[in-house]
Chains A and B, each alone.
Chain A
Amino acid sequence: MKHLRSIDELGIDGLERILQLSKVMAEINSRPVPKVPALRGKTVVSLFLEDSTRTRLSFETAAKRLSADTMTFSVSTSSANKGESLRDTVETISDMGVDAFVVRHKSAGVPWQMSAWTSASIVNAGDGAHQHPTQALVDCYTVREAFGRERFEGLNLTIVGDIKHSRVARSNIQAFSMLGAQITLVAPPTLLPPDIDHWPVRVSNNLERELASTNVLYMLRLQSERMAQGHVPTLREYGDQFGLTAQRVAMLPPESFVMHPGPMNRGVEMQIDPGDLANSLIHRQVANGVAVRMAALFDVLSGDQPNADAGAVDGLNREVA
């Protein structure tokens, strides 16, 4: 597909396709020389107008392993500081002949606006509180790997924390529900968006009550500015009610896992040292990030081959000459 902007647009077929392709990419990553010529000659620009380390590095590693040429445009070094409009920036870079933009922006919707200004593919690496589709793909891939199953019927995903401001939550709710999971949101009402009766979720305000029936506990980061904005009285009070403690980990059923998209806020939502979590998938999330983003880039840049057997696609089985 041309763009990867939201899970909704990707749809269940696209979701399945990228998750299948991710397995091929993971195999490539396990080789002694984890690099293939699949995207040789393609140029991928990282346009990161909001701070990010892990997502940007994850995408750049992914692009390089597929032999794409990469360019990086970030806030501190860019002409965005010289008053250039986003449209001018996009058109200028586009004129250089690029095939895909990987974009992160603090404002929701920017990937959609950009697609009107360039013929390149747009990969959304996070737009405001709206979508972060590759994170959701990573998370689905990681849960598939952990449970050894492709569909999530009967699996309870509990997402805890600042749903209102979370693009990760919005993408994950769409993705996990497409794969059949039961989703419960746990948060103080101030951190839930208004009018979400149409979301495929249950809502709870009590974490401990939900733990016994949780298979995947997904902790979201709580930013300290939410206190100043009056969403929570104090971070301590938030942590007391919604933070992950050893005691609460013990309340999870045996076959269950803990996830976090990072960066973690230790002492707030993560009151337990992540190193002490026996059932953590947090490192798997980061590790799988590269393979899944390779699959995402390959999917948008390899043209119209939605039905091709991913493993047979030219360039993936050969090593770089």
Chain B
Amino acid sequence: MSKNLKSTTLVIKGGTVVDATGERVADVVIENSVVKEIGKNLRADSTLDASGCIVSPGFVDLHTHMREPGREDCETIATASRAGARGGYTALVAMPNTDPAQDNVAVVEFVREQGRRAGLVDVLPSGCITVGRQGSTLAPMAELAKVGVQIFTDDGNGVQDPVLMRRAMEYAKGLGITLAQHCEVTSLTLGAAMNECCCSSDMGVPGWPALAEELMVARDIDLVRLTGARMHFLHLSTARSVDLVRAAKTEGLPITAEVTPHHLSLTQELLCGFDPLYKVNPPLRSMGDVRALKAGVADGTIDAIATDHAPHARRDKELPLDQAPPGMLGLETALGVVLGSLDLSMTQIVALMSQRPAQIAKAVEHGNDVAAGARANLCVFDPQIVWQVNPKQLASKSTNTPFVGRQLRGRVRHTIFNGNAVVIDGEAQK
């Protein structure tokens, strides 16, 4: 940060501040990267207009694929950071399915350093549960925990072997870290390209049965009961998964869960035209599943919204449906999709986008109440503005958004990261 910025003050003026303490109309003054003052009619050296807008703690994404190192043609840490900042995020958990994988300190430090260089959000590297995400040998979790890694996952490869998963949980418990699972029993999903449903049968396409997810959710809940480890379920997509997690939480098990904006808003029928744009893992499911996920969000079974932002090169998304890689962009559309899909109070929305994911990621400088002394990681968004998604106007290096051409209501106007306005009126400042 430049000396010049340190000595200046910034006021976010005329917005409605929303955090865990509720809603109030107030100006927010920032100085030296922290919130200095909240109140009426405040002044500062520079002003950001927030009239008609919500001022909230910056969003935290538990699930971003940054593609660096390895697939810099799809996305880099800089472009993902820019997309994140434009989406109102001030912290992104970088998923470990890079090449090389984030299963050692060198790669994790590289990812974090690239995030610092980009300087738009905090990049929080996750670590692998197993070496190379191969599901056979535990990764050096203690070494990674020592350099600050809080979440461990083999992401796209759920750990198949129950013995290895038990050991991982026992080991993780001793370190106080959280394991995050992509729940998919892969022997049930060989060759799958979409949800197993009436559409997949019409299309002659092998399907991912809901069961493949639910079996692993059930197994891991039982393993949590056995080991006492802390477990986070990535991108739940089926009604039964929500029921299993609800029951486990009632039991008091240390379990959290996330859902993506696309699983809250899109269904399997979109695959009928064979467009790999809509291929994602877990797949888009039925309307009944969408309703169950929404109910799970409303009753607190689901803790957080996570994007599973997964950029893919156009040439990869032009492969036949069964060969194309699964995944879709999410960072810049998440807020609009969430506001359009969930009928919740603004306080609840902000909790799902910011406070709860910050707690799960142990990102202590994020998701805090907007109060004097707090680190100034903030998001200012207009919940009413309607905009049309144009993939070419997104900051991501890839264009695979399933919301192409759709009208969304609600968009981020400014993002304040560490006291700096990194996005002003929707434009990233670097």
The answer to whether the Cβ of B323 comes within 8 Å of any Cβ in the partner chain is yes
Task: Give the interface of A toward B (CB within 8 A).
Answer: 85-87, 105, 107-110, 112-113, 127-131, 165, 167, 170, 193-199
- Which among A130, A167, A196, A198 has the greatest number of chain B C-beta atoms within 10 A? A130
Interface pairs A-B: 7 shortest CB-CB: A109-B274, A129-B204, A107-B320, A193-B201, A130-B204, A195-B198, A112-B274
Are B315 and A85 in contact (CB-based, < 8 A)?
yes
Are A107 and B203 in contact (CB-based, < 8 A)?
no
Q: For the side of the interface on B, what is the size category?
A: 20 to 34
Q: Shortest distance in angstroms between B189's beta carbon and chain A's nearest beta carbon?
A: 13
> Known contacts A113-B320, A195-B201; can you find 7 more A-B pairs with CB under 8 A?
A85-B318, A87-B318, A107-B322, A108-B274, A109-B203, A110-B320, A194-B201
Known: A107-B322, A107-B323, A112-B274. A195 touches B197 (CB 8 A): yes
- With the chains together, A277 CA to B365 CA distance in Å? 80
Are A112 and B201 in contact (CB-based, < 8 A)?
no
Q: What A residues does B202 contact at CB under 8 A?
A: 170
- With the chains together, A105 CA to B274 CA distance in Å? 14
Across the two chains, which residue of chain A brings its CB closest to B206? A129
Are B273 and A108 in contact (CB-based, < 8 A)?
no
Q: What B residues does A195 contact at CB under 8 A?
A: 196-198, 200-201
- With the chains together, A128 CA to B319 CA distance in Å? 14
The answer to whether the Cβ of B207 comes within 8 Å of any Cβ in the partner chain is yes
Are A128 and B207 in contact (CB-based, < 8 A)?
no
Q: Shortest distance in angstroms between A224's beta carbon and chain B's nearest beta carbon?
A: 18
Across the two chains, which residue of chain B brings its CB closest to A129? B204
Q: What B residues does A109 contact at CB under 8 A?
A: 203, 205, 273-274, 320-321
Q: What B residues does A108 contact at CB under 8 A?
A: 203-205, 274, 320-322
- With the chains together, A87 CA to B275 CA distance in Å? 14
Are A107 and B198 in contact (CB-based, < 8 A)?
no
Cross-chain pairs A/B with CB under 8 angstroms, 30 sampled: A85-B319, A86-B319, A107-B320, A107-B321, A107-B323, A108-B203, A108-B204, A108-B274, A108-B321, A109-B205, A109-B274, A110-B274, A110-B320, A113-B274, A113-B275, A113-B318, A113-B320, A113-B321, A128-B205, A128-B322, A129-B204, A129-B205, A170-B202, A193-B201, A193-B204, A194-B197, A194-B207, A195-B196, A195-B200, A199-B201
- With the chains together, A86 CA to B314 CA distance in Å? 13
Are A198 and B320 in contact (CB-based, < 8 A)?
no
- With the chains together, A288 CA to B417 CA distance in Å? 71
Across the two chains, which residue of chain B brings its CB closest to A193? B201
Q: What B residues does A199 contact at CB under 8 A?
A: 201
Q: Shortest distance in angstroms between B276's beta carbon and chain A's nearest beta carbon?
A: 8
- Which among B200, B202, B207 has the greatest number of chain A C-beta atoms within 10 A? B202
Q: Shortest distance in angstroms between B88's beta carbon and chain A's nearest beta carbon?
A: 33
Are A105 and B320 in contact (CB-based, < 8 A)?
yes
Across the two chains, which residue of chain B brings its CB closest to A173? B202
Partner of B320, one of A86, A167, A194: A86
